[in-house]
Amino acid sequence: MILFRRSTVLVLSSCFCFLLTFLGAPAHATTARGTHKAASSAPSVGTTVLRGRASWYASSFQGRRTTSGERYNRHKYTCAHKTLPFGTRLRVTNVKNGKSVVVRVSDRGPFRHQRILDLSEIAARPLGITECGAATVVAEVVAETTPLGPATTPDNLAALYAADPNPDAAFTTYIVPPVADSAASEVKPALLAAASVSKGQAISPAEAVNCPVGFLVQAGSFVDAANAAAVQARIKSLLPDVSVNISQELLDGRQRSRVLVGNFGEKPEAEAVRQQLLVWGIGGLVREVALR
């Protein structure tokens, strides 16, 4: 009798375990599929962008210990930022001349003059910051595998610069949605932080004088002056608030008429106008000129 009861208990226990396994398997599979679907449909993260003034470490800082613990080396592509995690890599572009460099965050600062970055000497030199003392830059957070050192100018520099939600502030941090994502393309850039002072208050008169560089768009070079005048008239009708002039130059013994559009203080502004002219079927190139 006891043996019979034990056998019955064993059989019932086995059936009960099998039933739980049978019922539990579909529930587990459904949860797994649901989790996978949610992960695959998650929206992609945009690009974190910083816009503001950047300066550089003086040579006297060589060998000093930074906040991260490593010693400052002016021959390494590093920078200081107030909050970004150590090791974060940034592609920094001088909006004045369009030159770019990739650096790694290794220190904290700067804490003066409403600036966002302090660059090592080797990083500041190709951007032209060692001559100017400071410059307005656009810095993008890039992958940690991005090589350090001089880099190509981002193709979307004008778009990144124009996406700034608060362009009048001394500095801003914002997220630009990925262009390839059709859903995200309808989302406006998200402002993460902005200075309470204006952009003009972050630029000293000495810095403005030391960097007398400007940009314009050359919208064609013509042997026939009448063709240049026709292009000039068309651009004036399309961009009535932008100056459009004709420059006469002698090239290879022949007189040429060049159509010059605007006189912009920063390269992204000129690039945006060049791209707009291209939409209207007018080709051109951005030229760097000395401001008068």
Render pLDDT for 244-263 as a digit per residue (tens, 0 to 9): 999 888 776 778 899 999 88
Q: How far is CA 199 from CA 135, 172, 174, in A?
A: 12, 10, 16
In a shared domain, residues 70 and 178: yes
Q: Look up the domain containing 125 and give its range.
A: 47-209
Q: Which residues of the chain have pLDDT under 70?
A: 1-44, 179-187, 205-213, 252, 290-292
In a shared domain, residues 199 and 234: no
Amino acid, single-letter form, for residue 251: L
Q: Which of 94, 146, 144 is nearest to 119 (CA)?
A: 94
Q: Which phi and psi angles does 290 have, rounded to 5°?
A: -85, 130
Q: How many separate domains does the chain show? A: 2
Q: Which of 242, 207, 239, 241 is nearest to 96 (CA)?
A: 207
Cα 247 from Cα 260, distance rounded (Å) = 7
Q: How, if at all, do strands 172-176 and 47-56 pair?
A: antiparallel
Q: How, if at all, do strands 100-107 and 78-80 pair?
A: parallel
Q: What is the pLDDT of residue 290?
A: 59
Q: Which of 21, 20, 1 is nearest to 9 (CA)?
A: 1
Q: How, if at all, do strands 135-142 and 149-151 pair?
A: unpaired
Q: What is the CATH number of the domain that holds 240?
A: 3.30.70.1070
Cα 96 from Cα 286, distance rounded (Å) = 12
Cα 54 from Cα 171, distance rounded (Å) = 10
* Structure token digits, residue 82: 């107030």
In a shared domain, residues 74 and 193: yes
Q: What is the pLDDT of residue 280?
A: 93
Q: From the CB of residue 74, how many other CB atoms can be counted at a distance below 10 Å?
A: 18
Residue 63 lies in a domain: yes
Q: What is the pLDDT of residue 114?
A: 87
In a shared domain, residues 153 and 196: yes
End-to-end alpha carbon distance in the chain = 112
Q: Is the peptide bond before 240 cis (omega within 30 degrees of 0)?
A: no
In a shared domain, residues 71 and 176: yes
| pLDDT tens profile 174-217 | 999 986 554 545 668 999 999 998 887 777 766 655 565 678 99
Domain boundary among 209, 229, 261: 209
Q: What is the CATH number of the domain that holds 74?
A: 2.40.40.10
Note whether 92 and 117 are within 8 A (CB). yes
In a shared domain, residues 221 and 149: no
State pTM to two decimals. Answer: 0.67
